[in-house]
């Protein structure tokens, strides 16, 4: 049950893969039975329906729910989520590469403003070749602002927007935020700003380097990228 204590959100299919990666080959039926006997039930994330239809007047929906890319640095998605810390909120801005679902840039701030989004974009540009790439977001005021879209144009990036109020149009990054909160922050006892930032940084490293995904052939994002580059 050591793996379950570290990753309480693992169901029996992911638990079986985790055991295999640790050198234990176990039939999925046996894993299911043992987890049931030991009361090792996984934590389930809640899913919410979204039905927004209104298209953006600033950028078209270039992504159109095609959450795959043939190569790195072609299709990015971005969004902001809030994280409660004591009696206040922190805001986390993330950019994800749809080639391998890798988190390639992120910034956290006490303020959900244009500076947060621009700082995240600058972080991306400082380490990736973004010329000609698509960066998809929702229709938050930061992403529809003239300043943001002018910055995209300066970097040679094409902006793309979800339909208003429809998180399904940006499902990949919504899924990442859900995993982040379920798998780490809901179980962390962060007391200070520094502890929260460290928890976020630790999880993003784990997500990129160790958290295997079915879409990637049970590889972690960086592992998948390195395999294809070899």
Distance of CA 215 to the CA centre of its chain: 14
Domain ranges of the chain: 2-37, 75-229
pLDDT tens, position by position, 113-138:
999 999 999 999 999 999 999 999 99
Q: Name the more confident of 56 and 203.
A: 203
Average pLDDT of 158-168?
88
SS3 170: helix
Note the pLDDT of residue 50. Answer: 47
pLDDT tens, position by position, 64-116:
999 899 999 999 999 999 998 888 889 999 999 999 999 999 999 999 999 99
75-229 belongs to which CATH class? alpha beta
Burial string for 36-49 (b: 16+ CB within 10 Å, else e) reads eeeebebeeeeeee
Q: Distance between CA atoms of 44 and 50, rounded to whole angstroms?
A: 19
Note the pLDDT of residue 189. Answer: 81
The yes-or-no verdict on residue 224 having pLDDT over 50 is: yes
Q: List the beta bridge partners of residue 95.
A: 78, 105
Q: Name the more confident of 89 and 160.
A: 160
Q: List the beta bridge partners of residue 160.
A: 136
The yes-or-no verdict on residue 6 having pLDDT over 50 is: no
pLDDT tens, position by position, 23-67:
666 665 555 566 555 555 554 545 555 455 677 778 999 999 998
Closest CA to 146 of 17, 77, 57, 221: 57
Question: Which value, to the nearest 10 degrees, does the dihedral of the CA atoms of residues 103, 105, 108, 111 take?
Answer: -120
Pairing of strands 102-109, 75-85: unpaired
Average pLDDT of 1-21?
55
């Amino acid at each position: 049950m050591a793996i379950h204590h570290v990753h309480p959100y693992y169901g029996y299919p992911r638990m079986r893969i985790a055991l295999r990666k640790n050198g234990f080959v176990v039939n999925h039926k046996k894993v299911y039975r043992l987890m049931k006997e030991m009361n090792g039930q996984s934590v389930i994330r809640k899913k919410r329906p979204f039905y927004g239809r209104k298209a953006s007047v600033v950028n078209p929906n270039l992504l159109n729910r095609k959450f795959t890319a043939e190569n790195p640095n072609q299709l990015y998605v971005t969004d902001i989520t809030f994280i409660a810390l004591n009696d206040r909120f922190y805001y986390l801005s993330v950019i994800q590469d749809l080639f391998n679902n890798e988190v390639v840039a992120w910034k956290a701030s006490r303020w959900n403003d244009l500076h947060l989004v621009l700082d995240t974009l600058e972080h991306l540009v400082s380490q990736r070749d973004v010329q000609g790439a698509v960066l998809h977001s929702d229709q938050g005021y930061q992403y529809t602002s003239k300043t943001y879209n002018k910055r995209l144009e300066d970097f040679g990036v094409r902006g793309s927007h979800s339909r208003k109020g429809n998180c399904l149009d940006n499902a990949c990054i919504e899924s990442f935020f859900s995993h982040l909160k379920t798998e780490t922050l809901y179980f962390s006892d962060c007391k200070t700003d520094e502890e929260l930032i460290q928890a976020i940084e630790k999880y993003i490293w784990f997500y990129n380097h160790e958290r295997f995904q079915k879409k990637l052939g049970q590889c972690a994002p960086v592992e998948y990228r390195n395999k294809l580059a070899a």
